[in-house]
Structure formats: C-alpha cells, structure tokens
A = this chain, B = another copy of it.
C-alpha cells in the first residue's frame, strides 16, 4: 500500500551507520539528514560500536592512535574540514570516548522524529565542546535540553528488551562488511567515509525500493 499515486518509485532507504566516537562521522552526521531530505531519500539511523569491529582487525584502540602518522593527519584534516563547513571544533581531550550510553539511547529513539537532532547534539558535545558524552548525566542534560524526559528515555534505552539492540546492530555491521565509520548502506552497497555521502544518495535515487534492492 502506498500513500502517493506518483509514478516515480520511492528511492531506496539509506541507512546511516554511525559511532559517536568517530571524528569523520561527526562531519557526516551534521549534514546527512538535510542531504537525504533534499534528495527525497528515506533515512534510517543505525548506531553501532566500532570497538568490536576494530578488534576484528587486530586493533585494541583507534587506528588514529595506533598509527601516529595517520592520526596526525586526521587531526589537521578535522581542523580544516570543520572550518570549511563552519562546524564547532574543539579537539577532544579523550579519544576515542566510550559511547555505549549515548549509542543505546540512539538505538531506543532511532525511529523518533527528533533522533537526528539528538545525534547532532551528542556529536557537537563530543567534538565541538569536549564534553564526556559517555557519561549518563551528560546524555541526560542533552535530552533535557531537547525537551525530552531524560529519565524516561534513559530507562527505555536501558530496559532489558532494548539493551541488546546496540549489540545486534554491531553484529549486523560486521555482516555488512563495515570496517570503519561513517557508512551509508543502500541495498547491498556500502559507502564508507564522509566524502561518499553524495555517492550513496545518488545510488539510492538510482535504485528504487520497488526494484527490490532493500
């Protein structure tokens, strides 16, 4: 059953697979909702954890910490990118942060209309304000700021039947071939990196949901 009689098939949904600890994901997360809306592409929020995926690759830390040459470039690149895009930037004093609490909340509210606003607010707190976004009270204050009942949302995120969603998402990310962040997944196609958002949106527009690619 469709809600529109328009002849054009709906673009394939774009799943945005994100981790609140990831610097490049910050840049992508700030624009993904608007970019999808502009293109008419349905967006799905997919929080996951990079830790278990890094472990699969033999890493016990971010590769930006394990490889100082790669890390030095990333920090300079983030200064340039955030300046270019007029995004707040303050190099975090802890990297990567433990993001289980805010990610569990994202899992619980992924289908709410305000999820995008919540996601952007957590990312700005981490990378624009150097706040400890892994702490329950920081997440609670952000939820309150967004007009939500923080205790109720946190209770929902930590309820036994919801706690497993983040782990299930991470296992699904592994199956999808994800090795870093951010990622857009359209049908079977994985698009990695902040700079591939537009390619993912183009792929969605070219592969309608009706064509069975989702």
Contacts and interface: CB of A to CB of B under 8 A. Distances in A.
Interface residues of A, number: 22
Given A199-B80, A199-B84, A190 B73 contact: yes
A26 to B, nearest CB: 17
Q: Is the interface of A mostly helix, strand, loop or mixed?
A: helix
A72 B176 CA distance: 11
- Count the copies: 2
A22 to B, nearest CB: 16
A69 B177 contact: yes
A192 B73 contact: yes
Contacts of A180: 70
A69 B199 contact: no
Nearest to A71: B179
Interface in A198-214: 199
A94 interface: no
Contacts of A196: 195
Contact of A69 (B57, B70, B73): B57
Contacts of A56: 69
17 contacts: A57-B69, A57-B70, A67-B179, A69-B177, A69-B179, A70-B179, A70-B180, A72-B177, A73-B179, A73-B192, A76-B189, A76-B190, A77-B192, A80-B189, A80-B199, A195-B195, A195-B196
